[in-house]
Structures are given as structure tokens and as C-alpha cells.
Amino acid sequence: MKHFLPALPLILGFLLDCIIGDPYSFPHPIKLIGRLISALEKSVRKHFSDLRKGGAILAVTVVVLSTAAPLGLLILCYSIHVLLGIAAETVLCCYMLAARCLCNESMKVCKAAERGDTESARKAVSMIVGRDTAFLDRDGIIRAAVETVAENTSDGVTAPLFYMGLGGAVGGFFYKSVNTMDSMIGYTDEKYADIGRFAAKLDDVLNYIPSRLTALLMVAIAPVLGLDGRNAFRIWKRDRRNHASPNSAQTESACAGALHLRLAGDAWYFGKLHKKPYIGDDDRPIEAEDIRRANRLMYAASLLMLVISATARCVIIGGVL
């Protein structure tokens, strides 16, 4: 039994997230990290003329503080009693995962679209995407929700699991601190191109392996879900680079192939049209049910990643001890 203890917080944290998700009324560590990033960004802009250098210092500071805090807490809890340590690490692992939240928010879009309530669907999808939604019709709204589930399968679930497999809850905080910086300051526009450059590049590096592994897990599990694994692999090989980010199209292309959908394409951001390549083939009309299919694919691939990460955690801790 003791050989499985290192993996227990990962497994319990994943199950806890699947059951209850993020408690909206509780303070969330990611929000605290976000506040830290905002405060440091203001300080860097005030005190550094070289924003690239200041941005690098910002990123290192956020990573160090975001990992030191949970590490100190876990050292304290485990020193008191192993069960207290496991309980604390389980909660921290749960906080790093977003499967239930991603499913819940995307299903709001699905249910509104099924009711024929386009405006409610538009409002729901605006909560989970960064693009302008005013220009989207019903199909565009559904497509945006499917894309978000596909892309965030890695960012929100499997990549944190991957790093928790390597470093427990602390590894998860390490990853999410970088991923949160990328989502806040990792843009290429004039305001963030310099200050967010280091964080954006670091996020690209950290997501390189998890995004590709997740895509392959989607391909592998697709036939079990009644989806097209062979086409998922074909579209992944063809379209996995059809994105400005080296990682974002990895899971989108696998999902698009599995569902026989065409995703991505041009999108509006802050009133400006951005030209983007398509991902996947337009084999059939998109439908609200595709959001459910994307969520099933997300959960199934995440479960496979959990098995891999839990095994890695046992091997790593077993080797150390």
C-alpha cells in the first residue's frame, strides 16, 4: 500500500475535481497568483526601462513564490502527520485541475444552443473564450466552445497532471504559475510584447511535451468513445502546426479529426479580425452535441494522463526513497 501513497493525492485530487470542481465561493490559489502577477507587472513597468529584463525577473519571482508557498505548507503538513499531508496535497492538486469547470461552463453553451437560445449561448461562450463573440452565429458559438474544450484539455487538465506526476502538487503550482502568466501577459501586442515575452516562451517550453502527449492520448482513446481515431491521427499530423502557438493546435487538431469537424479559422479580437488557418475538414455540420463529445474526449484523455502521471509519481518517489 505504501508504494501507492505518492500517487494518492493526484488520484484523489482528480476525483475531487471531477465530483465538485472549483468551489466558486472559496478563494482560489490561481486568483492569488493572478493578483501577484498584476502587482509585479505594475512594479516592473514603474521601475524598469528594459521591459524584457523586468518581465524575466517578474516571471522568475512569480514561479519561485508560487511554488515555495505550497512546498512550505506541504512540508509542515507532512511533518505533522502523513494523512494530513495527503489531505492537504489532495486539495492543492484539485485546485490545479479544471476538468469539471471546463465541462460545466461549456455545457452551458451546449444547453442554450439546444434550446435555440442563441443569445444565452453567446453569453455563456463569452465567459470561456478570449475572442469577440458578437460576430458569431449559432454554429460559430458551438465551434468556439468545442475549440476551448479541446485546447484547454491540455492547459487545464492534462498538463497540470503531467507536472504533478513529476513533482506532486508543487509541480502543478509550478506549471500553473507559468500558464497563468502566459494568459495574463503573454501577448504579442505592443503593450505586452516585451514584458510578457519570457513568460510566453517559458509556457511554450512547458507545454511542448504535455500538449503532444495529450493529442496522442486523444487519438488512442477516440475509438473507445465511438469517435474516429484514425482520422484524429491523420488530422493531427496534418494540422497540428496550424496555430501561432506551437502547442495550441496539437489537441485541437486531434479533436477536430476525431469529431470530423473543421475548427479554428478567422476570429475577431478586440474589434480586429485575425486571419487564422483552419484545423480539420468540414465533413459535416457542427451541432451542439459536439460539445458533449469534446468533453467526453477531454475526460477520457485526462484519465489516461492520470494513469501515466500516477505511475510516474510512484516510480520517482520510490526511486528517491
Task: Output the tens digit of pLDDT for each of the chain's 321 residues.
Answer: 456 788 999 999 999 999 988 766 667 899 999 999 999 999 999 999 999 999 999 999 999 999 999 999 999 999 999 999 999 999 999 999 999 999 999 999 999 999 999 999 999 999 888 777 788 889 999 999 999 999 999 999 999 999 999 999 999 999 999 999 999 999 888 899 999 999 999 999 999 999 999 999 999 999 999 999 999 999 999 999 988 889 989 999 999 999 999 998 766 666 676 678 899 999 999 999 999 999 999 999 999 999 999 999 999 886 555
Spatial separation of the C-alpha atoms in residues 34 and 87, rounded to whole Å: 25
Could you give the CA distance from residue 134 to residue 118 in angstroms, rounded to a whole number?
11
| Main-chain phi, psi angles of 279, to 5 degrees | -125, 120
CA distances to 65, 161, 162, 170, 256 from 167, in Å? 16, 10, 9, 6, 32
Please tell me the pTM assigned to this model.
Answer: 0.93
What is the C-alpha to C-alpha distance for residues 216 and 222, in angstroms, rounded to an integer? Answer: 10
One-letter amino acid of 247: N
Q: What are phi and psi of 98, to 5 degrees?
A: -135, 25
